[in-house]
């Protein structure tokens, strides 16, 4: 077809930053997923699921044109087992350490910071209880295009 063009894959600033965050989280000993459903089994070292979240409304500067976001991604942290409290504490502390080691995610954003988790214990029929929390991570970044 003469009108068909070759597909070009372009990563947006938002996707590049979320991919970098996922890569940093993948260095942790827990299983790390992105945008997946909660699996039936939680690994003994814990589970983190990165959700893209929402960029929210931007602030705009005009010269040069820039859109400034405080994007709220979410990390679901889930642990299971007899020592779920200790495992959860270790997992969230290591997550905090990974973020603190490089708040700019390699220079891709201006600042990345997690908010405190609000853990809950969830009973599971016939199995050990789960301890879980959603941990918001605020990503501060600017881009020249709200779609870019």
Domain spans of the chain, in order of start: 13-143
Note the pLDDT of residue 148: 72
High-pLDDT (> 90) share of the chain, %: 79
Res. 6: pLDDT tops 70: no
Query: Of 67, 72, 73, 71, nearest to 48 (Cα)?
Result: 73
Res. 1: pLDDT tops 80: no
Helix (H) or strand (E) holding 88: helix 84-101
Res. 3: pLDDT tops 70: no
Q: Bigger pLDDT: 52 or 148?
A: 52
Mean pLDDT over 104-118 rounds to 96
Mean pLDDT over 24-36 rounds to 96
Mean pLDDT over 86-109 rounds to 96
Mean pLDDT over 126-148 rounds to 92
- Report helix, strand and coil shares of the chain as percent, to nearest 5: 20, 40, 40
Mean pLDDT over 82-102 rounds to 95
pTM of the model: 0.89
- Report d(CA 144, CA 138) in Å as an integer: 19
Res. 147: pLDDT tops 90: no
The CA-atom distances, in angstroms, between 45 and each of 97, 118, 121, 138 are 17, 19, 17, 25
Mean pLDDT over 37-61 rounds to 94
Q: Does domain 13-143 have CATH number 3.30.70.1700?
A: yes
């Amino acid at each position: 077809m003469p009108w068909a063009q070759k597909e070009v894959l372009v990563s947006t600033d938002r996707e590049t930053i979320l991919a970098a965050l996922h890569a940093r989280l993948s260095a942790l000993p827990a299983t790390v997923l992105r945008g997946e459903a909660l699996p039936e089994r939680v690994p003994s070292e814990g589970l983190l699921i990165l959700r893209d979240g929402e960029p929210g409304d931007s602030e705009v500067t005009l010269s040069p044109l820039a859109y400034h976001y405080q994007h709220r991604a979410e990390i679901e942290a889930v642990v299971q087992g007899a020592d779920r409290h200790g495992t959860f504490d270790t997992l969230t502390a290591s997550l905090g350490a990974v973020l603190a080691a490089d708040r700019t995610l390699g220079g891709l954003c201006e600042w990345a910071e997690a908010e405190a988790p609000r853990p809950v214990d969830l009973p599971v029929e016939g199995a050990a209880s789960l301890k879980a929390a959603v941990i918001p991570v605020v990503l501060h970044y600017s881009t020249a295009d709200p779609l870019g």
